[in-house]
Amino acid sequence: MTEHEKWMEFAFKEAEQAYKRKEVPIGAVIILDNRIVGRGYNQMETLRDPTAHAEIIAITAAASQLDNHRLENCTMYVTLEPCAMCAGAIVLARIPQLVYGAADPKSGACGTLYNIVQDERLNHRVQLIRGVLEPKCSGILKDFFGKVRSNEMKKPKPN
């Protein structure tokens, strides 16, 4: 197992937490000096918050843990390619390296539809590593949405 696969497994465990809570199963971890300083999984349904993506939650946790909004020496691992909002947050947090599992053909903003994290017009660019544990990361999403479509997975109802 490579170092990237090792850390992606931790992100995948976060995705499993989301799955158990009937959230879209995406997980993220942020690593600094060979330890997790931030973690998160999707909580949009639970928190009724469109910004409660795994990446945003992990960035907030890491910034709090490190007492710094700049995550300059960190690496983020996320099971699905970040969307435009999350890609923008990664740039703003100055995360130098992003590793993701599955590409997102519908809203991927790190090389698929857009490439916000490497846009030369911005003041920070991110090194990308794509496809780490891709079959596993895409598999949990396919399973989840298969269950949603067949009504096996009922989403939480708003209060």
Per-residue confidence band for 151, with pLDDT thresholds at 50, 70 and 90: confident
Residue 157: the pLDDT is: 55
Residue 156: the pLDDT is: 54
- pLDDT tens, 64-115? 999 999 999 999 999 999 999 999 999 999 999 999 999 999 999 999 999 9
**What whole-number distance in Å separates Cα of residue 39 and Cα of residue 139?**
21
Q: Return phi, psi of residue 48, to 5°.
A: 50, 50
- pLDDT tens, 11-65? 999 999 999 999 999 999 999 999 999 999 999 999 999 999 999 999 999 999 9
Are 16 and 140 within 8 A, CB to CB? yes
pTM for this prediction: 0.94
Residue 152: the pLDDT is: 77
Is 55 an active-site residue? yes
The candidate with the shortest Cα–Cα distance to 43, out of 68, 17, 62, 13, is: 17
Q: Which of 16, 55, 120, 152 is catalytic?
A: 55
**What whole-number distance in Å separates Cα of residue 136 and Cα of residue 140?**
7
